[in-house]
Structure 1
């Protein structure tokens, strides 16, 4: 009787393990990775790394702590002021653009998130969101990061705080 229970337990474990392995392949290598989407992404944008070691990308909070843009955040804010991007609608909220900077300083895999002032997901103004996305894509001063002598890809984000239809602050 004990052998039958033991055998049943081992077979059940093996069955669950196989099913878990199939499910796990749906997820990215690292939490937060942006998967390529042919409808949204430039096919010419390449991640760095090798097939042997994979294409691991660092998150914005890993590695060096300095701001990775030539001229720092102030250069982005000044360029944004010159663009004069605003909405006719007097909306408030946040628009975040997250993207990958590769080891050559090129950007791709852009994703948008929009939130109300109380941080609930909502569409604020599609035209404003698209203009801020295009503005973010136009920023060409991102610097490659190096960690322990190796140039790496890293994720970056810019959050635009919107008050009365205008960008009042760029975060981080």
Structure 2
């Protein structure tokens, strides 16, 4: 018998790629970052995140020909820590695509190092929530980080 997830879009723990020490505080309740009224769920908001990207990460010439979108979806737990990272890649026509693996690793490293995620509450209890970042890439250069 196949086990169904509680909600569409829930990320199931995978021992091959996920940190076994990552704490999931509310496994039976899913929230999305937009369920909260605080806007973008990062201290300093998107401005701070873009500042970190520009200060610490540069574009490698090996990625010149690649354009499209890279989305990293993950869970922010009740302690503001992140885990369960999943990557989706597509070209400019929204068709499945594979970017250079080193480039993906740079983006994943950046997302994993972000440590300003806001802790959210629901009915007085700290809860986990799903967050995503989409990187718009043109000729190997990150032009925008969404949402």
TM over 0.5: yes
Match for 1:80 among 48, 53, 58?
A: 53
Render the CA deviation track for 1:84-108: whole Å, top value 9, x for unaligned: 3324232110111100000110100
Map of 1:67 onto structure 2: 40
CA shift for structure 1 position 55? 3.0
Structure 1 spans left out of the alignment, 5+ residues: 1-21
Contact 2:75 2:130 in 1 (8 A): yes
CA shift for structure 1 position 65? 4.6
Say whether 1:129 aligns with 2:99.
no
Structure ID, larger Rg: 1
- The two structures have a TM-score, normalised by structure 1, of 0.80
Alignment CA distance shift 1:96-1:85 (3 Å):
farther
**Whole-angstrom CA distance in 1 between matches of 2:89 and 2:130:** 18
Aligned length: 145
Map of 1:44 onto structure 2: 21
Say whether 1:95 aligns with 2:70.
yes
Contact 1:48 1:55 in 2 (8 A): no
Say whether 1:31 aligns with 2:8.
yes
Q: Going by fraction, where is helix more abundant, 1 or 2?
A: 1
Contact 1:85 1:132 in 2 (8 A): no
Higher relative contact order structure (alpha carbons within 8 Å, sequence separation ≥ 6): 2
Structure 2 spans left out of the alignment, 5+ residues: none
Q: CA RMSD in A?
A: 1.4
